[in-house]
A and B are shown apart, each in its own frame.
Chain A
Amino acid sequence: MNEAKPDTRDSELAPPALAAALAETWRTPAGLWGVLAAVDHKIIARRYIITAFVFLALGGVLALLMRLQLAQPEARVLSPDRYNQIFTMHGTNMMFLFAVPVLEAIGVYLVPLMVGTRNIAFPRLNAFSYWIFLAGGALLWIAFVLDMAPDVGWFAYVPLSGPQYGTGKRADVWAQMITFTEIAALAVAVEIVVTVLKQRAPGMSLDRIPLFVWSMLATSFVVIMAMPAVIFASTSLILDRLVGTHFFNPAEGGDVLLWQHLFWFFGHPEVYIIFLPAVGMVSAIVETFARRPVFGYLAMVMALIATSILAFGLWVHHMFVAGLPRLGQSFFTASSMSIAIPAGVQVFCWLATLWDGAPVFRTPLLFVIGFIVTFVIGGLTGVMVASVPFDTQVHDTYFVVAHFHYVLIGGAVFPLLGGIYYWFPKITGRMMSETLGKWAFWLIFVGFNLTFFPMHILGIAGMPRRIYTYQPDMPWYGLNMFVSISSLVLVAGFLVFFVDAIRSARVGASAAENPWDAPTLEWATTSPPPSYNFAQIPVVNGLSPLWDQPACLMVASGLRTDRRELIVSTVATAKPQVREASPRDSIWPFWAAVATSVMLIGSIFTPWAVVWGSVPVAVALIGWFWPKATPEDEL
């Protein structure tokens, strides 16, 4: 195994010997063991991203099935029951198994590289998080195959999802899938908060943190404050259904609206959990391709923080037709409109950056331009539905469907795809195709607008969402057919994207360390990065380290090579404090995830699963934390 003598320092070794020693210390073992025990943030993030894109493709298939059903009046492609399952699955899958995980996963990959450290904080928790996410996704999709997928909408309103109407186990599958994905998301949030606060490269004071990292930090705090609400909501729903509590039963002092409050107290911040990382990607891409630092760094950071605080003051705007007091409605209208201010600040800062820069229109920047256009349209309809009289008209119609697809696809998927084109060379060591990239962009951009813009009109024409069919005398027929055909253009764009990604990963042109001449630290190491990220920890003295010192990276020496070691630094000024150990591979997070999954799935069927199921969980956690005979556990 490790033959290096104890306490070898990097300064004692010549560069090739240093790389070899670090590779030995930081390597992930090969074979099945390596797969199950890996803790390298890059390996976990790659799995997370690929799994999330598989869920995107599956969710896309569900969307196509719905478009097939709605293309004509009185179609019989899907039964009403299957249709209910499919639209519930589509929303649940896209929100909980695609959007949130994929954006967090990009953070898991990039944040440690961008702050110049060797692994994420709590790498074993990170591994655990992935397995739990995978189990939650499997639970939902296996239930779908078994015809017991949830059929109560992605926000599962009571009483429809309660014990009286939601018979069988469908709503329980939904509720417990929530628990899985929220545990996974919370774990990642904790890791990112601690990585950003404590593992930044020496000299990376708060005002030198890349905007993408700021956005992930803000997102993580929103996750931490918002997710407990939905975990309590889904748990109390299961309790109502399984052991006869009365949280949502008005006959025994409970309240139906309580569910809506709990769900949307999480559900609205969820939109920003998806949006903020995307905004961070946009800033990174704009900066690199405009060839200048983002205009108004301080304003951008303040806008991120303001958005994440305001995110908690908007949830009631999802409930305007639920019969709330007038004063409450006015308050939440005002607060909903106020969030347009930080969003506007950011849009104008990007425009100023592009205006003053020398933009290079490569594929990543195209997606960013597509984002700005689409997101502004979605933002405008957002200001419209923030107004109570207008919302009362279009609530639960296709206008709302159009609005949130503009915000979510425009606001998050466009930047995400731009981000994939941008960081693909770093992750795989190969470039994606510019030609196919431009095709993918135009097909997706045009296909998206042709598919979703007409839905505004359908909504104003009164077409309700979630209907499995409509009668021939309704005036919706032509537009629905148009939307269904347009969705094929959108799908073609995604197919081109997937083909490009898979092909480029195998035979794309190989990528240099910094193919876009970008300013941040992830580009200071090889593509793909070695297991230890940096042979020596970078030292930072500006906001754009690779532009400030283009020829040469400043680094620090003195770390051990026989022990997984990284630098812990102070929160505000990033002064180095400790040469901290970073844990090695471990199989225990996997077993802990298996035990947790058994307990959570068991508790869909019997409350006693929580009692007997907690014993294996405890055993796995003790195995996880019990010190092992490695250099990392000494002292």
Chain B
Amino acid sequence: MKTRVVADFSDLPIHGFRSASVTWWGTLAFMLIEAAGFALVIAVYLYLMNLAAIWPIDAPKPNLLPGTLVTVILLVSAIPNYLISRWAEREDLRKVRVGMVLMSVLGTVPLAVRAFEFPALNVNWDTNAYGSIVWALLGLHTAHLITDLVDTLVLAALMFTRKGNTSRRFGDVQDNAMYWNFVVVTWLPIYGCIYWIPRL
């Protein structure tokens, strides 16, 4: 087919941040999938609770301490997470490196506390349906913590190599920070569900 040139794009940038980046949209789409998953598991929790005569079924209420500690750490981590996103936008390599190390630590600590959260549920996954659904909720969120921690560690390592100092990598840091926000925000309804609904 014959063509006629009507525009010239040679001056367009070769990488965009946030909504000008396909990776950002891809991350958003995966967040939508996972949010649908979380919402559904919470719905199943409420469904099973609605069926049960007493809730929790044959188990003491979960202990508040480890879960609340995780919540506090996650909320605190949102502050450096916000800062690292801004540093990445300014392409400040030195600060981003410091920030990635800090976020690696702040990803590991809640996971360590999470190890104490499972026993604090005071019920096993195979005790009854209540045990199954709270383990499913906590397990699903833990899978997200682990995934984002591995992502953060790899990206932190990458930022210390020669390949770190490119716009594309700074974009990755931003997308990773956005995903961490998602992991923090989705924890709040799950925390409320596991620890506070039985206390209502």
Also in contact, A202 and B36, with CB within 8 A (given A194-B22, A246-B129, A578-B16) = no
Given A557-B5, A579-B9: A253 touches B51 (CB 8 Å cut-off): yes
Evaluate contact between A258 and B47: CB separation under 8 angstroms. yes
Partner of B14, one of A513, A556, A622, A635: A635
List A contacts of B21 (CB < 8 A).
568, 578, 580
Complex interface bits, A157-191 against B, C-beta within 8 A gives 1, otherwise 0: 00000000000000000000000000000100110
Complex CA distance for A280 and B36, rounded to whole angstroms:
26
* In contact, A186 and B8 (Cβ under 8 angstroms): no
A243: which B residues are within 8 A, CB to CB? 125-126
Give the shortest distance, in Å, between A517 (CB) and chain B (any CB). Answer: 12
- Residue of A at shortest CB range from B51? A255
Contacts of A225 on B, CB cut-off 8 Å? 32, 36
Is B94 in contact with chain A by the CB < 8 A criterion?
no
A111 on the B face (CB < 8 A): no
Contact A258 B125 (CB under 8 A): no
Chain A count of residues within 8 A CB distance of the other chain: 72
Chain B residues with Cβ under 8 A from A626's Cβ? 154, 158
The reply to whether A554 and B4 contact each other, CB–CB distance below 8 Å, is yes
B72 within 8 Å of A (CB atoms): no
Q: Tell me the total A-B contact number using a CB cutoff of 8 A.
A: 195
Contact between chains at B166 and A580 (CB < 8 Å) = no
Q: Is the CB of A625 within 8 A of B12?
A: no
Q: Residues of B contacting A633 with CB < 8 Å?
A: 163, 168
Residues on the A chain within 8 Å of B6, using CB: 539, 554-556
Chain B residues near A524 (CB, 8 Å)? Answer: 1
**A245/B25 in contact, CB under 8 A:** no
CA distance A11 to B10 in the complex (A): 9
0/1 string, B29-53, CB within 8 A of A gives 1: 1101110110011001001100110
* Cα–Cα, bound, A246→B21 (Å): 43
Measured CB to CB, the nearest residue on chain A to B15 is: A635
Distance of A390 Cα from B20 Cα, bound (Å): 53
Chain B residues contacting A186 (CB-CB under 8 Å) are: 33
Question: Which range holds the interface residue count of chain B?
Answer: 35 or more
Pairwise interchain contact A255-B40, C-beta atoms closer than 8 A: no
**Judging by beta carbons under 8 Å apart, are A193 and B29 in contact?**
yes
- Inter-chain CA distance A514–B1, complex, in Å, is 9
Is A579 a contact partner of B13 (Cβ separation < 8 A)? Answer: yes
Does A236 contact B130, Cβ atoms closer than 8 Å? Answer: no
A635 touches B167 (CB 8 A): yes
Chain A residues in 8 Å Cβ range of B41: 232
Task: Assess whether A229 is interfacial by the CB under 8 Å rule.
Answer: yes
Does A507 lie at the interface of the complex (its beta carbon under 8 Å from any beta carbon of B)? no
Asked whether any CB of chain A lies closer than 8 Å to the CB of B57, the reply is yes
Task: Tell me what chain A mostly uses at the interface: helix, strand, loop, or mixed.
Answer: mixed
Given contacts A228-B33, A580-B22, contact A552 B166 (CB under 8 A): no
Contact residues in B for A97 (Cβ distance below 8 Å) = none
Using an 8 Å CB-CB cutoff, how does the interface string of B148-176 with A read, 1 for contact, 0 for none? 00100010001000010011110000000
User: Is B29 in contact with A194, judged by CB distance below 8 angstroms?
Assistant: yes
Assess the B130–A253 pair: CB atoms within 8 A.
yes
Q: Is the CB of A262 within 8 A of B9?
A: no
Residues of B within 8 A of A397 (CB): none
- Report B137-150 CB contacts with A as 1/0, cut-off 8 Å: 00000000000001
Is B63 in contact with chain A by the CB < 8 A criterion?
Answer: no
Among A217-257, those with CB < 8 Å from B are 224-225, 227-229, 231-232, 236, 239-240, 243-247, 249, 252-255
Docked Cα-Cα span, A553 to B52, in Å, equals 66
A393 within 8 A of partner (CB): no
Does A122 belong to the interface (CB within 8 Å)? yes
List A552-606 residues whose CB lies under 8 Å from chain B.
Answer: 552-559, 565, 567-568, 571, 576-581
What string of 1s and 0s marks CB contacts (under 8 Å) between A92-133 and chain B? 000000000000000000000000000001100000000000
| B73 interface hit (Cβ, 8 Å) | no
The answer to whether B5 and A536 have CB atoms under 8 Å apart is yes
> Which chain B residue lies CB-closest to A254?
B129
Interchain CB contact under 8 A, B166 and A253? no
B152 CB to nearest A CB, Å: 12
A558 contacts which of B9, B37, B129, B154 (Cβ < 8 Å)? B9
Q: How far is the CA of A554 from the CA of B21 in the complex (A)?
A: 25
B98: min CB distance to chain A, Å:
21
**Residue among B8, B33, B158 making CB contact with A224, cutoff 8 Å:** B33
Can you identify 14 A-B contacts, CB atoms within 8 angstroms?
A229-B40, A236-B132, A240-B132, A245-B129, A245-B135, A254-B48, A254-B129, A255-B48, A514-B1, A537-B9, A552-B1, A558-B10, A578-B16, A581-B14
Could you list 11 further interchain pairs (A-B, Cβ under 8 angstroms) beyond the known A552-B3, A553-B2, A568-B20?
A: A197-B25, A245-B135, A246-B129, A254-B129, A558-B9, A567-B12, A568-B22, A578-B12, A578-B16, A627-B168, A633-B163
Q: Give A residues with C-beta under 8 Å from B.
A: 9, 11, 121-122, 186, 189-190, 193-194, 197-199, 202, 224-225, 227-229, 231-232, 236, 239-240, 243-247, 249, 252-255, 258, 261-262, 265, 513-514, 524-525, 535-537, 539, 551-559, 565, 567-568, 571, 576-581, 618, 622, 625-627, 633-635
Give the interface of B toward A (CB within 8 A). 1-16, 19-22, 25-26, 29-30, 32-34, 36-37, 40-41, 44, 47-48, 51-52, 57, 125-133, 135-136, 150, 154, 158, 163, 166-169
